[in-house]
Every structure is written in structure tokens, then in C-alpha cells.
Amino acid sequence: MLHFGIKKQQFLRWSSLLITIGGLIFSRAGLAHPHSFIEMKNAFVVNDNQLIGMNMTWTMDPLTSADLLYDAGNAANGSEIWKQLAAEVMANVIGQHYFTEFYHDGKKVKFLDRPREYHLSRDGNNAILSFEMLLAKPQPLNANFSVLTYDPTYYVDMTYTDAASITLPVDVQARCKLALITPKPDTSLQAYAQNLDKADAPDEDMELGKQFAQRVEITCH
């Protein structure tokens, strides 16, 4: 589950914020998974005819961002407090292997344990996390690639708005085809997710988040 370290002394203001969001926690929508939303952008990185990684940008919804923005106060983007918060959030993301699965011709490929760069900043009421994900081993470009990014519990919905949110370097676009595939879970699975409360965790064997996860497909020749 994607958490950003809510401190005990912050509980009252966090609860107060939840209550003010249009009565969300008392509505059926408030009881359903997901409870937080992250909009993603992804730029693939190619070097010397090899796919070496991705540059991710995650824009968190205002509710998910609230605690981080409170801690940052009026600090300017790039200041020390933002760097400290970025390190805390990034440690959580790394601990979950970036919430991302990467496949080369159907075989799973790991990422390096640490990104070379990562940043956390504010844009209005949204916190934005950007970071580089390098593959542990660069992959020859003449292949098929699949990428899924998701929270296994589906507590957090992680989605691309459309295919334009995913980019390839200009010099490989002629030889690589990119597609964004959005699943269509059946009504019984949707009903199951809608009936999960915040305190509920789905059966791990269900891989609930994966069943709702978009898939990025890249085919190069």
C-alpha cells in the first residue's frame, strides 16, 4: 500500500480534511477502493540502441498531497524541506520496487535499487514526484516490452490519462510502436473493490490492483 508517513500529531488535521471533502467518508464512494489517485507520465530512456529505463512523473490528487503540502508549508520548491520529504517518499516507493513491473519479451526485468535523480515539488494543491527508474541491465531495443505500474491493494489508483502521457525518444519512434491498454474488469470485480473499506485489504492471491492496472506495450523492430 502506498503511504506517505502520516505522523500521530497530524492525525486530527488529516481527519478534519477528510471530513470536509464533501462528506466523502460517509458516502458509498468513500468506502470503495481506490481512495487515492495518482496521474502518471512516463518518458522512456534509450541509449546506444538499448532501453535503459524510464523517467516517471506522478501527480498526486489534493487529498493524497495534503499531508506533504502541510509539512512543506510555504517552503519553495527545491528547498531543504522538499528534499527531505522527497527522500522519505522515495524510500517508500523503492521499497515497493517502484510499484512497477517491467517485462522484456515476457521475462521480468528488475530495476536498480536507487534512482540517480528524484524530486518532489508542489503545483497548486498537488504534490508531484518525479524520478528516474533505471533497469538493472539495459535491454536491446529490438524486442517487445510491457510495463505495469499499480498498487497491489488498489488502495491507490495509478493511471495514465491517455497514450500521450507516455513518450519515446524521437529517434526511435519510427521503429517502435507504443500502445496503452486499459483493462475492463467485470462487474463482480468492480463490486468487490467498491465494497472494500479503507481498513480492508483484498486477498493477496487476487492481485486486485494488477487487475485494474493499465499496461504499456512497446514493440520495436
Domain ranges of the chain: 8-220
The pLDDT confidence band at residue 199, using thresholds 50, 70 and 90, is: low
| Amino acid, single-letter form, for residue 9 | Q
The answer to whether the predicted template modeling score (pTM) of the entire model surpasses 0.85 is no
Looking at the DSSP bridge assignments, the partners of residue 111 are 135
Instruction: Give residue-wise pLDDT tens across range 120-178.
Output: 999 999 999 999 999 999 999 999 999 999 999 888 999 999 999 999 999 999 999 99
Beta strand 176-181 with 166-167 is: unpaired
Largest pairwise CA distance in the chain? 55
List Cβ neighbours of 217 (8 Å cut-off, separation of 6 or more): 144, 145, 146, 178, 179, 180, 181
Could you tell me which residue, 202 or 81, shows the higher pLDDT? 81
